[in-house]
Chain A
Amino acid sequence: MLELRRISKIYNPGTVTELCLFDNFSFKVADGEFVSVVGSNGSGKTSMLNIICGSIPVSGGEVLIDGKNINSLREYKRYRMIGRVYQNPAAGTCPDMTILENMSLADNKGKRYGLSFGVNNSRKNYYKEQLSSLGLGLEDKLDVKLGALSGGQRQAVSLLMATLTPIDFLILDEHTAALDPRTAEIIMELTNKIVKEKKLTAIMVTHNLRYAVEYGTRLVMMDKGNIILDKSGKEKQDVKVEDILDIFNKISIECGN
């Protein structure tokens, strides 16, 4: 159970560019939920993810995991229970290291990074198995550097790496936005499969309304730091892309766009 309780977030406080994004913002995600979050630029989607992960501090309110306040928990410690995939395919992997080395790094999450050999050869087959599930032929490229792969391939490896070890939450930050439509489709299918197989609690921010409607168990729409639509279960299944698009247009008209 993840909860944001009465969060406020003010950017550049005390300056002319002061911007109050969240004021008394509350949000709850139950275990096992797969939440898709949509909203226009600047609506606070990515800020919300950053607040959950501790990448940016809050101005007020509490971030709770299973009822425990984690406000003072530093970012890197929060990632021990969170896996995150970024919009930029380069963010989740090491470009100068090979696929095998990257997988080994991710596989060791939660354990000691000591002076034993980085690559455990007995795990090689397991990595190959995992990589072949992507269907991209990466299992034969274990010794290729990540930097030499395409954006889609890198994102697929990032996703795999983020979910290789047991985690409680999966955070997907527009992870298909930088990919071509076909690759985005593959990555999205893969995400859905992994979330279901590993029974993860996931929050996915996306600009693709179809993905938001098709995937996930709950749909949330944000605008100016508020949740303006929140549907789950049966209600969520009945939502159509057109409905969401309508709301989007209304908001835009209010803004004068």
Chain B
Amino acid sequence: MLFFATTIDGLQMGLCFAVLALGVYISYSILDFPDLSVDGTFPLGGVVCTILMLKLGIPALPAILLSFFAGLAAGAVTGVLHVKFSISKLLSGIIVMTALLSVTLALTKLLTRTGLTTTIFSFRSENLEGLFSGSASRLLGDANRDYMILIIELIFVIAVKLIIDLFLKTKLGYMVRATGNNEMLVVSLGRDSGTYKILGIALANGFVAMSGALYSNLYSQYDNSSGSGKVVMALASVIIGIAVFSKIKFMGNTTAVILGAVIYSLCLNYLVLVDTNGIYLKLLNAVLFAIILIFNEKTSGFITGRQKAKRGQAKC
């Protein structure tokens, strides 16, 4: 029974982090930009969404969608620092992440003045309901709430996936892909590749912020420390997804990334079962990530080796 509950919880978490992973897929895989500002934009999305819901009384769904723009702005700062001021990719991410720690804290203070508890507060008050406790779940009764959460999350994730897929098929999307792939080509086409880099990083962080907003809805509370470790989590999801699933025919990279996020979250949740005190959780997390990276290296090495052999035969 505990195992079952853990699985459900893992799936809920995984689908929530799938949005995060899709964002990081844009920055890491498509733009080749290991973006560390993710650790800051994730809680930023959460706090902005919470403010919109609690202070302005905006319903959950539009609040989550609006939090996208907070991430968009923060991501644009990372992009501008890198492109316009030639700060390295890692450092511009770190700068924005550090700055956002204060920004989210200040935004949280905005909430405490309304008389709620300092960092943790509930959405489950009389007239404030999160995206996941709407009338639909009331209809099915409390026992089915878990499944309802999964279904709504799934719809949300698929919508995000389709939007990203569509975007990457547009001319603008092509340019963003080309920027990550071969910047020189973009310049040859008479365009400034820097613009597309900033745009891509901004979009990526927009989705990350949306995931943060979703996360605070899922657990009915905003947590200031929810950002820590999100870069690792997202990268692990993207790498597992691409390494394991993108080799399956007819499976797009975005679908692969979603599955990667779900599987990684499940693994993390099962780790909690093993280590009930939670002391070695981060260590196990790191080991799991290392294993994934090693596995990824091995598989790609294996495949290129095989391709080389094939090419050799063709020449003979």
Contact = CB atoms under 8 A, between A and B. Distances in A.
Interface stretch (B45-53, B104-112, B142-150, B169-177): B169-177
B191 interface: yes
Interface stretch (B78-86, B93-101, B182-190, B266-274): B182-190
A108 B171 contact: yes
B192 A105 contact: no
A189 B173 CA distance: 35
Interface stretch (A35-43, A94-102, A243-251): A94-102
Given A113-B175, A118-B173, A76 B193 contact: yes
B171 A118 contact: yes
B102 interface: no
Nearest to B185: A94
**DSSP majority for the B interface?**
helix
A112 B192 CA distance: 13
Question: By DSSP majority rule, is chain A's interface helix, strand, loop, or mixed?
Answer: loop
Nearest to B176: A113
B181 interface: yes
A110 B190 contact: yes
Interface string B227-256: 000000000000000000000000000000
A79 B190 contact: yes
A122 B15 CA distance: 39
Interface in A150-171: 162
A74 B187 CA distance: 10
B185 A79 contact: no
A113 B181 contact: no
Contacts of B173: 118
Contact of B170 (A75, A83, A106, A116): A116
A55 B190 CA distance: 13
A113 B182 contact: no
A235 B178 CA distance: 44
A69 to B, nearest CB: 19
Interface residues of A, number: 33
Nearest to A120: B171
A113 B169 CA distance: 12
Nearest to B30: A96
Contacts of B172: 113-115
Given A96-B177, A104-B174, A114-B172, A90 B192 contact: no
B189 A106 contact: yes
A94 B181 contact: yes
Given A90-B182, A91-B182, A109 B174 contact: no
A119 B182 CA distance: 19
A160 to B, nearest CB: 13
Contact of A79 (B177, B178, B187): B187
A80 B177 CA distance: 20
A73 B173 CA distance: 26
A86 B185 CA distance: 11
A201 interface: no
A92 interface: yes
Interface in B167-216: 167, 169-175, 177-178, 181-182, 184-193
Given A118-B171, A162-B188, 15 more contacts: A76-B187, A80-B190, A84-B188, A90-B182, A91-B185, A92-B184, A93-B182, A94-B178, A94-B181, A95-B181, A105-B178, A105-B189, A110-B190, A117-B170, A118-B173
Interface of B: 167, 169-175, 177-178, 181-182, 184-193
9 contacts: A76-B193, A91-B185, A95-B182, A105-B185, A113-B171, A113-B172, A113-B191, A114-B171, A162-B188
